[in-house]
Structures are given as C-alpha cells and as structure tokens.
Structure 1
Amino acid sequence: MRLHWLDRPAPYLPVWQAMQDFTESRQADTPDELWLVEHAPVYTLGQAGLESHILNPHGIPVVHCNRGGQVTYHGPGQVVLYTLVDLRRRGMFVRDFVALLEQSVLDVLADLGVPSACRKPGAPGIYVPQSALAQGRQGGALAKIAALGIKVRRGCAYHGVALNVGMDLSPFSGINPCGYAGLQTVDLQACGVRAGLTDVGDRLARHFSAAWETAGR
C-alpha cells in the first residue's frame, strides 16, 4: 500500500478530483493508496446532504461532493486520511470497511491516552465522553472527534476519515455537524493531548494499513 502526504494546506476540490481520477483509471492490479492531507477551510456536503444543515458558512466555501454523510468541516489542525482501496479485491463489505476505519481511529486515540473514545450506534464516526475532555466536564453526552464518509465506485472506495487534532473549532458552529443539531465537536487538544499533526496522521495510516492487511482474508 502506497502512502502519500499531500501538500498542506490543500484546497479540497483538486484533491477530490484526483481521487476520482485515480479510482476511474485504476486496474485490477493497481496498488491501493493512502493519502494524508490537511485541508484549507471548507465545508463539504455529502451526496444526500441537506442544505438546511448549513446554518452560517461565514464565507467558508461549501462543496457538494459524492461521499456519504451530511455536512462536515475540514480545516487546518485536522488530519484527513483518504483511503483509495479496492474492497472487491479484498472481499470486504462496506459496513466492515467503515468499522475498520473507525477502529483505526480508536487505536490512535488509545495510543495517545484517550481510551474512552467510542462509536455511537447509528451515527458513523468516533466520539469521546464529556468526562474525557481536559476541562473535566461530567455527564454522558458524547462529543465528536472524527468524522468519516466514503464513496464506492466499481468496488473501489475513496474519501475516508478526518480526525481533529488541534484546530479552531468555531467553524463547526456554522453547521449541524454530520446532520446533528447541537452536536459538540472536539479535538485531541480538548482531550488534553498535545500531538503534532504529522505524527497523528502517520499513526492513523499505520493502524489502518495493519488492519487492512489482515482484513477480508
């Protein structure tokens, strides 16, 4: 599996177009690739996304893309792992691939001292309980730290997962994150973790690669 760090911060549209071009041109024996990137500020609205979930973009561009899911924000301080992989060749179902992506994030968070991170039934992505935040809030409410969305074309997946590392979280207030009104969005910094974006991205790619190599076999 080939790993590439893209130039940062990267505008969203050229990267999205490059993912589509790669997927359309790949052959049965084309090696899978992982792309790591930090995007310039952008809101992306999924294929079935509702405009009503964009509350106030404050001048941040909005891009309608072809991944699954609703609206999310990408920007500096967030690492995105794009997974350009052949599911059909691996013999993997989409639901299992989503679970693998989520587990890769959970493994990274456990490495970095956030073992309480979890999934939320019916809401793809990774969440942390209020009690895991550095300010020590109590309660059972969950805050989102990683969002995911994929597109499958001819048995091959692209798009991927975005993990908030240390970023300006205020743009999330301009949307209903992932279609959920009032959903709190946090980053590793809010969990008391000081980590470099490159280190977190490399960890995420390593965990995903290791799981991918053994999956579907």
Structure 2
Amino acid sequence: MQDFTAQRGPATPDEIWLLQHPPVYTLGLAGKPEHLLRSSDIPVVKIDRGGQITYHGPGQVVAYILLDLKRHGIGVKELVRRMEQAVIDLLATHGVAAERRDKAPGVYVNEAKIAALGLRIRNNCSYHGLCLNVDMDLSPYANINPCGYPGLEVTQTCDQGVSADADTLADALARHLQQQLGYTQPLI
C-alpha cells in the first residue's frame, strides 16, 4: 500500500484490495500501548494508519481503499462517511440495522462494533481502510481495548443472522464501496 501510494501519479487508477489477515494486532499512529491489556502469542504490529489498536484475523474481511481524494473532490471525513455507509448499506441488504457514531469511526450494531476503520492520507491519496467482522474467533478482542475504547463490545455478521461467508460479503462490500465512491467499473 505504501509503495503503491508513493508511486501514484494523477492518472493512476484507484483500487480496492480485499483480503483476510492471519491473527495480528495492529497499533495505529496514535496507538497507546496500554490498550493492549494482555500479551499473547498474537503479534502486535505498529502501522502508519490512524486510530488505536485493533485485531485482524481469519473470517474478517479487510478492504484497503487506495483512492485519490483530490480526484473525487472529497476530504477524509467524507471518505470515512462513505466507507461507513457502504457497510451500513451492505448489512441492510441482510436485514441488519447498523449505524455510525459521532467521534467514534466505524459501524455499530446494537452498541457493538462490527466494522472498524483506519486510514492514512499521503499526497491526497488514501490507504489502509476498513475491516468487517464476518465469522471469526472474537476472543482475541478480550486482550485489547478495541479502537482504544475500554469495554467496547464487538460483534460479527454471523452473530447477526447473516449466513453469507467472508468471500461473498467481500464481493458485496466492494460493490457497495464502489457505489459510494461513484464507480461503475470494478476497482478490485
């Protein structure tokens, strides 16, 4: 992502990368080590996105948004809003009511976080992105204050009655992100 963003030019097409990570905690630029409550055999990696600490693992869809904000005429707050809306719209197609919160980026269902966001902007281009919990082991979240919020509960789509697997939801998420960003051609 860093190399892709550093080498971008004005004509470089935007991209969305979809993947799943092996178990890892990531600590953003503003991350405070005290939000890691207990050590475990899961590695902690300091990265250059915004935000605090979060967990990534199998069964979670990660979407990296590699976007030229200047070309779209939007700022970071609008990008975050559109990313959140893509997740909200996706969940609505499965009958799950979700919402965003002021001053707490991400998407929430019944007070529990189902999707986390963390971005980095360099030369008006974004990288990093969002993660959507689908069907994963949520126990590693007990070792952290998710996104820096003590006691924040997390949930996943399978616990909300969504039967679609991670690959199916990744494809659908990409379509919703593309729609929110005004694209008619695939970015992945």
TM range (shorter): over 0.9
User: 1:206 corresponds to which residue?
Assistant: 175
CA distance in 1, matches of 2:135, 2:46: 25
User: 1:77 corresponds to which residue?
Assistant: 59
Deviations 1:60-92 (A, max 9, x none): 000000101100000000001100000011111
Count of residue correspondences: 183
User: Residue 79 of structure 2 is aligned with which of 97, 117, 128?
Assistant: 97
CA contact (8 A) 1:57 1:171 kept: no
The SS at the match of 1:66 is coil
Higher relative contact order (CA closer than 8 Å, sequence separation 6+): 2
Root-mean-square deviation (CA, aligned residues, Å) is 0.8
Moved >3 Å (runs of 4+): none
Matched AA of 1:66 = D
The SS at the match of 2:181 is helix
User: 1:3 corresponds to which residue?
Assistant: none
The SS at the match of 1:34 is strand
Deviations 1:154-197 (A, max 9, x none): 00000001000011000000100000111111101111211111
Gaps of 5+ in 1: 1-18, 130-141
Matched AA of 1:199 = T
User: 1:54 corresponds to which residue?
Assistant: 36
User: Residue 140 of structure 2 is aligned with which of 160, 171, 175?
Assistant: 171
Gaps of 5+ in 2: 184-188
User: 2:159 corresponds to which residue?
Assistant: 190
CA distance in 2, matches of 1:57, 1:88: 41
